[in-house]
C-alpha cells in the first residue's frame, strides 16, 4: 500500500524489515494508539505509562520547558516505549520553541526580510540542533503559508512573505538545516492559510483561490518541497472549495466547505493524488474549534483517518479519542487497510530517522553534554545578525 523505499522515506532493506515486522507484531489496540500525538503535560511516571505503554501513542509534544527537564522527560518516554516516539515541537522560529534557554531566531518574515536565504538555513539548523539536543526528532515547521491577506490573524509574520518563490527557497533552506540534524519537518498548513481573515482556532478558514491559481501558488510550494523530501505535512482546518469541486464535481456545498483535516478530496485526491505526497499526513491541533464545526468529535476523529490523515494531533481527552477511533473501526468508518496504511507511514518516518537503531544503542536522546548546544554562541550570533539586519531595514 505504501512504498517506503522511495521519497520521502528512502528506507534500506533492514529498515523496511523493521517496519514490516513491527506492523505485523502489533495488536489492533497498539495500531490505534500509534495514530495519536497528544500534548505532553507531565513528567510523572504513571500518566506517562498510561499514554506511552497502555495507549502506545505514536508521538508527543511538549511546550517549552527547561532544557534539562525536557531532555530527562524525553529520555524517560523513549525508555518506556515499545516503539520509539516522534517527539515534536513548534520550532518554527528557533530553539525557544522547545526549551526556554533556546535561541530566539526571529519570526520567519524577519528572516526573509534580510534577503539572505542562508539565514533560513541557519534558523532551521539552530532550531533543530537545539531541539535534537533534548530529544526532539519532529519539527512542526517550516511554515510555508503565503501572506496574501495581511489581516490574517494567524499567518502574517509567521510566513516568509507573499512571494511564492521566496517561500519555497526559504522553506527548503529550513528543511536542509533540519535534515542535517536528523529531524523530520512538517510543512504547514495545507491547503494553505493566509488567504482570508479567519482564525482556524475559532472557525474554518477558507482558501478561496480557484484551482489554477492555487496550483500556481500554494500548490507550487507544496509540490516543490514534497519533491525535496519533506517527510510530513500538517493539514489545517482549512477549506479549499474549488479543488473539492474539481476533484468531485458532484460535491455538495457542505462537502466543499469541510476542513481539509476531514476532507478526502483534499487529502487523498489533492495531496496524495495531484501532488504525489507519499509521506505522513498529520492534522493540525484537533482541539481547535474548526475541527468540529461540521460534525461531532466522536465522528471527526475517525473521519480524519478515513479521509487520509495518518496522525491526530492533540486531544481534549486521549482516552475518549482512542475510543472514538476504535468505534469508527468497529462500525466500518475506518477500514483495517486504511489503519495499516497510516501506521506504516508513521513507522516509516521513525525508521527514516533511525529511531529504532538509536533506541537500541541508547542514543535516541543525547546525553547531558548535548545541552551545551542549546543557546550556544554560534546560534546566538546568527540570530543577532538577523536582528541587526531587520532593525536596519526598519530604519
Residues designated as active site: 284
Calpha distance 86→33 (Å, rounded): 13
Calpha distance 69→320 (Å, rounded): 29
Question: What is the phi/psi pair of residue 316, to 5°?
Answer: -85, -40
* C-alpha atoms less than 13 angstroms from C-alpha of 258 in its C-beta half-sphere: 21
Tally Cβ neighbours within 10 Å of residue 273.
13
Calpha distance 206→191 (Å, rounded): 10
Produce one character per residue of 365-385: b if its CB has 16 or more CB atoms within 10 Å, e if not. Answer: bbeeebbebbbbeebeebbeb
Length of the chain counted residue by residue: 395
**Three-class DSSP category at 39:** strand
Tally Cβ neighbours within 10 Å of residue 43.
16
Comparing CA positions, the residue from 331, 319, 322 lying closest to residue 301 is 322
Is residue 287 within 8 A of residue 314, CB to CB? The reply is yes
Amino acid at each position: 500500500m505504501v512504498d517506503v523505499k522511495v521519497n520521502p522515506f528512502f528506507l534500506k532493506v533492514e529498515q523496511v524489515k523493521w517496519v514490516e515486522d513491527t506492523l505485523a507484531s502489533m495488536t489492533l489496540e497498539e495500531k490505534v494508539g500509534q495514530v495519536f500525538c497528544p500534548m505532553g503535560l507531565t513528567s510523572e511516571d504513571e500518566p506517562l505509562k498510561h499514554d506511552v505503554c497502555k495507549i502506545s501513542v505514536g508521538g508527543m509534544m511538549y511546550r517549552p520547558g527547561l532544557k534539562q527537564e525536557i531532555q530527562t522527560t524525553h529520555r524517560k518516554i523513549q525508555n518506556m516505549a515499545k516503539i520509539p516516539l516522534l517527539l515534536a515541537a513548534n520550532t518554527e522560529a528557533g530553539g525557544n520553541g522547545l526549551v526556554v534557554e533556546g535561541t530566539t531566531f526571529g519570526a520567519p518574515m524577519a528572516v526573509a526580510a534580510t534577503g539572505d536565504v542562508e539565514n533560513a538555513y541557519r534558523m532551521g539548523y539552530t532550531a533543530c540542533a537545539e531541539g535534537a539536543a533534548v530529544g526532539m526528532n519532529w519539527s512542526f515547521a517550516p511554515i510555508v503559508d503565503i501572506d496574501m491577506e495581511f489581516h490574517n490573524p494567524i499567518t502574517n509574520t509567521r510566513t516568509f512573505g507573499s512571494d511564492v518563490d521566496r517561500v519555497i527557497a526559504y522553506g527548503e533552506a529550513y528543511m536542509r538545516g533540519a535534515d542535517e540534524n536528523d529531524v523530520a519537518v512538517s510543512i504547514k498548513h495545507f491547503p494553505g492559510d493566509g488567504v482570508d481573515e479567519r482564525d482556524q482556532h475559532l472557525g474554518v478558514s477558507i482558501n478561496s483561490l480557484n484551482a489554477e491559481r492555487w496550483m500556481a501558488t500554494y500548490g507550487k510550494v507544496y509540490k516543490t518541497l514534497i519533491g525535496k523530501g519533506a517527510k510530513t505535512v500538517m493539514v489545517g482546518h482549512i477549506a479549499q472549495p474549488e479543488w473539492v469541486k474539481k476533484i468531485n464535481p458532484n460535491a455538495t456545498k457542505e462537502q466543499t466547505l469541510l476542513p481539509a483535516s476531514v476532507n478526502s478530496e483534499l487529502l487523498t485526491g489533492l495531496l496524495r493524488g495531484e501532488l504525489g505526497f507519499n509521506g505522513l499526513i498529520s492534522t493540525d491541533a484537533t482541539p481547535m474549534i474548526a475541527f468540529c464545526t461540521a460534525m461531532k468529535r466522536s465522528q471527526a476523529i475517525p473521519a480524519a483517518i478515513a479521509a487520509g490523515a495518518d496522525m491526530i494531533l492533540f486531544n481534549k481527552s486521549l482516552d475518549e479519542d482512542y475510543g472514538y477511533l476504535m468505534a469508527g473501526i468497529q462500525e466500518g468508518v475506518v477500514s483495517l487497510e486504511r489503519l495499516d496504511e497510516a501506521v506504516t507511514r508513521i513507522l516509516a518516518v521513525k525508521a527514516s530517522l533511525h529511531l529504532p537503531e538509536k533506541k537500541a544503542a541508547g542514543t535516541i536522546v543525547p546525553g547531558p553534554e548535548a545541552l551545551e548546544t542549546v543557546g550556544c554562541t554560534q546560534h546566538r550570533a546568527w540570530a543577532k545578525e538577523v536582528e541587526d539586519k531587520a532593525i536596519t531595514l526598519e530604519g
